A and B are shown apart, each in its own frame.
Chain A
């Protein structure tokens, strides 16, 4: 069965410093993977998705993620944090017992300090 684990519930960085949000997945095959962002009291917005075409995926707002099969990881990075990046981030994999469903990580709240 597919699953994702977000290793940090909270991450705090200073504005202008790099961001690393960690996600590990468990799957019996090479899955698709997504990162979503949710700003306070808003819906979820897709940041980027991996669908096996290229292991380094670039997304919106300067974010990118690298799929590493050997480490079963799909960590989200950004070279320089901006105050507007403060939000909750979810790593997501399709699966369960049906590809209709999406399996969500528990989320990582990113705090950006001035």
Chain B
């Protein structure tokens, strides 16, 4: 069974902390994504990566960075967490091409206090 695994289901962090959200996929997918999901705003793309060490900004990259040192792992980094980054974070992966579906992790609910 294909898997996208996010390292934490729930996280509580303090304002100003550096936060790492980890995502691992076992499907050898080139493309990986980080989204955040907020009520009324839907899913918004933060960053995506189409290859190791390659990344592109999504729609809301401010306050975030990413790292992809290995094909199977894509990390989202909150350099200095703020309360407005409290959200549900979803990682996804997919093969290249317009007809391929994405596979999602179970999500990380992050609360910044």
Q: How far apart are B29's CB and chain A's nearest CB, in angstroms?
A: 11
Are B48 and A49 closer than 8 Å at their CB atoms?
no
Q: How far apart are B73's CB and chain A's nearest CB, in angstroms?
A: 17
Residues of B within 8 A of A107 (CB): 42
One of B92, B102, B107 near A41 (C-beta < 8 A): B107
Residues of A within 8 A of B99 (CB): 32, 49, 51, 94
- Which of B42, B50, B94, B101 gathers most chain A CB within 10 Å? B101
Are A43 and B104 closer than 8 Å at their CB atoms?
yes
B96-113 toward A: CB 8 Å interface, digit per residue (1/0)? 111111111111010000
Residues on A close to B: CB < 8 A? 31-32, 34, 36, 41-46, 49, 51, 90, 92, 94-95, 98-102, 104-107
Are A102 and B102 closer than 8 Å at their CB atoms?
yes
Residues of A within 8 A of B45 (CB): 101
Are B31 and A100 closer than 8 Å at their CB atoms?
yes
Residues of B within 8 A of A105 (CB): 42
Residues in B11-52 with C-beta less than 8 Å from chain A: 31, 33, 42-43, 45, 48, 50
Q: When A and B form their complex, which 5 residue pairs have the shortest distance between CB atoms, in order from nearest?
A: A43-B104, A44-B104, A51-B99, A99-B98, A32-B99
Bound: A105/B42 CA distance, A: 8
One of A32, A41, A44, A45 near B98 (C-beta < 8 A): A32
Residues in B47-78 with C-beta less than 8 Å from chain A: 48, 50, 56, 58
Bound: A32/B33 CA distance, A: 19
Are A49 and B101 closer than 8 Å at their CB atoms?
yes
Q: How far apart are A40's CB and chain B's nearest CB, in angstroms?
A: 10
Take A100-B31, A107-B42 as given contacts and tell me if A44 and B90 are in contact as well, using a CB distance cutoff of 8 Å: yes
Extra contacts besides A42-B107, A102-B94 (11): CB < 8 Å: A41-B107, A43-B104, A43-B106, A46-B103, A49-B99, A90-B43, A94-B98, A94-B99, A99-B97, A101-B45, A102-B92
Bound: A105/B45 CA distance, A: 13
Are A41 and B109 closer than 8 Å at their CB atoms?
yes
Are A46 and B101 closer than 8 Å at their CB atoms?
yes
Q: How far apart are B111's CB and chain A's nearest CB, in angstroms?
A: 13
